[in-house]
Amino acid sequence: MSSISLLFSPQSALLIFLLLLVYISYTIYQAFFGPLSKLPGPLIAKFTNFWRIKNAASGNAPANFQDLHRKYGTVVRTGPNHVSISDPAMIPSSFYDVFTPKNAGKSYPSIFTLQSQDAHRQLKAGIAQKYSLSSLLSLEPMVDNVTRNFMSTLHERASSGTRLDLGEWVQFYAFDVIGAITFTGTFGFIDKGCDERGILRGLDGGLIYGAVVGQVPGWHEWLMGSSFLQETVMKIPVLAAGNPVPIVVQMIKDALASNAKDGAESTREDFITFMRKQNEKDPERMSEDVMINHMFVNLLAGSDTTAISLRSIFYLLMKNPCVYAKLQAEIDAADSKGLLSPIITYSEGQEHVPYLANVIKESLRLHPAVALPLERIVPTSSPLQTQSHTIPAGAVVGINAWVVHYDKNVFGQDARVFRPERWSEENGERLKMMERSFFAFGHGSRSCVGKNISLMEMGKFVPQFLREFEISWDGDEDGWKVDNTWFAKQSGVFVRYRSRERKAVFA
């Protein structure tokens, strides 16, 4: 009997029927009698991940999750094995595999994508001290060089009421800063005033793919996780040109080669020099692949999130003139007393412009960078117990910052209002609850490793920019446009800007 005849034989048909029957029976059992069966949620979520896929592709995930929890409560089933939780106190996934960069057939799992706690802990241990705030402050001179270049470039372009895509320019700034502190070089975005190599466009495509395919991670190995498919796609010029990974890999390898020539005598303080010295001490723990992993996290994740946060700060200031005026007055008062350097230091901003920290935090509360839930797999050692349900080991649980940040029980009845004062008015248990519910950088051992980089950039750039320039909204009357994929990325942040009389001294 030929193989084709065997495939269509009655025995094969019976086997396929039995397999389908087992699958359908198992799906029905899990939907109505399994450990998650009592959880509320969309009916379709009991059977399939369709709701998650549709939600991720909709471009409106934050609002969808808010509506979901408003309708079903604090614990909601969003898929056959997925649960969304809106109470941070309840939380101690293979979703992240799709964000593992791959180039020339090699995968680069990073701090962000590793699921194993032991592997994550080991990878993070070799670099964690470099992300501490005290260590990062030694990199301020590198950030200052980029800031100085940004301000002088905009002053040269400025006339009375010049129109500027501020959203685009703060991304140029964030990218060039991350390049400067990673390997003492920039991408040249500020100098060119454009995304010449299409790196930013390529990243946007990756975010869409990651958001949608991440809902069913098993698809990834058959799609862009497949070396064969990726190599095939990269042979198509249009698609290859939109892939930023080879460009960034080459930049990293060039930087590693350049750094190796400098040798142990180098006095540079950037990340690559730190990692090179760690490599000399322990080449197994800090191998070249590990160095590439860490630099990928810096370059491809750190810039987007900081740019989103900077857009939020300036947009909300322009839309709330009283807050803008209050912050501006505080900056000008400190400046008039000679308390601020030509390029404002992080510590000066923290000490002499205290309202700034509240503005930053409130902006990140109202517009957290990540649009989808931060997911984790419930460990076998400790099933998750909520107030009304037990979530078993192996289930995937997640918290969406867009849900907890708008919780009126935590942030008050005006939770949807931009009011930075809330962070200084509250104290005691109320403030602790607000802090515990602040998820802009995640939480716990898996919180964003680059948090201090972003805070340092914002803490320096915002007061510097507002001291140098006056801005007013010049975008659509309806406001900015937000494209929710993995990140809640804004566009259309157009402003009119002009140089203010007081300028920093560019020396």
pLDDT averaged per 10 residues in sequence order, the chain, 507 residues: 60 75 79 88 94 94 96 94 83 43 51 49 60 87 96 88 93 94 87 87 80 81 76 73 74 77 65 84 82 78 90 98 98 97 97 98 97 85 76 88 95 97 91 92 76 94 97 95 94 95 53
Inter-residue long-range contacts of 108-112, CB under 8 Å, 24+ positions, other chains counted: 108/289, 108/292, 108/293, 108/296, 109/293, 110/293, 110/294, 110/296, 110/297, 111/293, 111/294, 111/297, 111/449, 112/297, 112/301
Report the alpha-carbon angle 135-140-143, nearest 5: 130
The rounded distance, in Å, linking the Cα atoms of 468 and 340 is 13
Give the Cα separation of 413 and 134 in Å (integer). 37
For 50-87, b/e burial (b = at least 16 CB within 10 A) is: ebbbebbeebebbebbbebbeebebbbbbbbbbbbbbb
State both tokens at 157.
């372009």
Residue 448 is assigned to a ligand binding site = yes
Confidence at residue 131, expressed as pLDDT on a 0 to 100 scale: 82
| Helices and strands (H and E) in the chain: how many | 24, 13
Token pair, residue 131, equals 């992300």
Count of positions (residues) in the chain: 507
pLDDT of residue 344: 98
Q: Who contacts 318 (Cβ-Cβ below 8 Å, separation ≥6)?
A: 324, 471, 472, 473, 495
- Give the Cα separation of 216 and 228 in Å (integer): 20
Residues 36, 46: Cα–Cα separation, whole Å: 9
Q: Tell me which CATH homologous superfamily contains domain 44-499.
A: Cytochrome P450 (1.10.630.10)
Give a three-class secondary structure readout of 28-75: HHHHHCCCCCCCCCCHHHHCCCHHHHHHHHHCCHHHHHHHHHHHHCCE
Question: Percentages helix, strand, coil for the chain, rounded to the nearest 5?
Answer: 60, 10, 30
Phi/psi zone of residue 505: left (φ > 0), alpha (ψ -120 to 50 degrees), beta? beta
